[in-house]
């Protein structure tokens, strides 16, 4: 029989998560907006708006994570998956609504939104997983973070 090791309640490293998720998104969004801006101001604006929506959604998500109470790593896993999914769906719905309401260039808008969203998702996943893994190691078991 295997005994379970109690996991400590942890908080997500919100400052690290904010910098880690937003900084790469800003770099990607700025780069894409600059790339499209060289073609025309209209396409550059569309790219900047698409990237801005992804960054705004990430900023709101990080802010919401800051207010959540401590919990063990296993419970954080579910919270992170659900909250990231809600962030992505919410930002997609907002981006679609804005796209339908305003006349914008399709390729720069959606390309920039998608590139920023995927960059932010990748980095937030890496940072979150790292925090959960450290908490599991502190409890004495690696399997509890999976």
Cβ contact 33:26 at 8 Å: no
Amino acid 142: pLDDT: 47
**Residue extents of the structural domains in the chain:** 14-136
pLDDT along the chain (146 residues), means of 10: 62 81 91 92 94 94 88 81 92 96 93 95 87 70 48
Q: What is the pLDDT of residues 126-135, one digit of tens each?
A: 888 887 787 6
Q: What is the pLDDT of residue 146?
A: 47
Measuring CA to CA, which residue among 120, 118, 98, 112 is closest to residue 43?
Answer: 112
pTM of the model: 0.83
Candidates 145, 127, 17; CA nearest to 76 is 145
């Amino acid at each position: 029989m295997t005994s379970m090791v109690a996991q400590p309640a942890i908080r997500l490293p919100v400052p690290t998560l904010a910098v880690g998720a937003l900084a790469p998104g800003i770099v990607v969004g700025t780069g894409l907006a600059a790339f499209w801006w060289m073609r025309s101001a209209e396409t550059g604006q569309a790219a900047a708006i698409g990237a801005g929506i992804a960054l705004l959604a990430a900023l709101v998500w990080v802010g919401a994570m800051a207010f959540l109470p401590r919990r063990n790593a296993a419970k954080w896993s579910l919270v992170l998956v659900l909250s990231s999914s809600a962030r992505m769906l919410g930002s997609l719905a907002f981006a679609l609504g804005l796209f339908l309401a305003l006349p914008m260039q399709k390729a720069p808008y959606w390309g920039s939104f998608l590139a920023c969203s995927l960059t932010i998702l990748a980095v937030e996943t890496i940072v979150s997983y790292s925090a959960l893994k450290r908490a599991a190691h502190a409890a004495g078991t690696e399997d509890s973070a999976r």
